[in-house]
Amino acid sequence: MRMLNPMEGAPIFEYTYVISPLSGIDDSRIIKIEDSCDAVFENQDGFALATLSVAAVDGRQAGIDGAILLRRAGFEVVRTYPDFVTRGDIAERAGKTRQAVGNWIRGDRQSAIAFPRPVNLVAGGIWLWGTVVDWMRSAAVEAADIGDSLQFPSIEDHSFVDCFIGWGDSQCADVSYAVRQSASIDDVTEISSTPSQFTASRYTMETQANC
Stretch among 24-28, 38-42, 146-150, 199-203 having the lowest mean pLDDT: 199-203
Would you give the distance in Å from CA 11 to the centre of its chain? Answer: 12
d(CA 143, CA 188): 43
Tens digit of each residue's pLDDT (9 = 90 or more) over 6-48:
566 789 999 999 999 988 878 889 988 988 888 999 998 889 9
Q: What does the pLDDT read at residue 205?
A: 32
Tens digit of each residue's pLDDT (9 = 90 or more) over 59-113:
999 999 999 999 999 999 999 999 999 999 999 999 999 999 999 999 998 878 9
Contact 75, 81 (CB under 8 A): no
What phi-psi label fits residue 133: left (phi over 0), alpha (psi between -120 and 50 degrees) or beta?
Answer: alpha
What phi-psi label fits residue 209: left (phi over 0), alpha (psi between -120 and 50 degrees) or beta?
Answer: beta
Q: What percent of the chain has pLDDT over 70?
A: 73
What phi-psi label fits residue 9: left (phi over 0), alpha (psi between -120 and 50 degrees) or beta?
Answer: left
Tens digit of each residue's pLDDT (9 = 90 or more) over 113-125:
999 999 999 999 9
Q: What does the pLDDT read at residue 5?
A: 54
The CATH architecture that domain 12-80 belongs to is: 2-Layer Sandwich (3.30)
Residue 51 half-sphere exposure toward CB, CA atoms < 13 A: 13
pTM: 0.76
Q: What does the pLDDT read at residue 168?
A: 56
d(CA 116, CA 137): 13
Q: What is the mean pLDDT of residues 175-202?
A: 38
SS3 state of residue 53: strand
Within 56-128, residue ranges assigned H as helices are 59-73, 87-94, 98-106
> Looking at this protein, which amino acid is placed at residue 22?
L
Q: What does the pLDDT read at residue 8?
A: 66
On the question of pLDDT at 187 being above 90, the answer is no
Q: What does the pLDDT read at residue 54?
A: 93
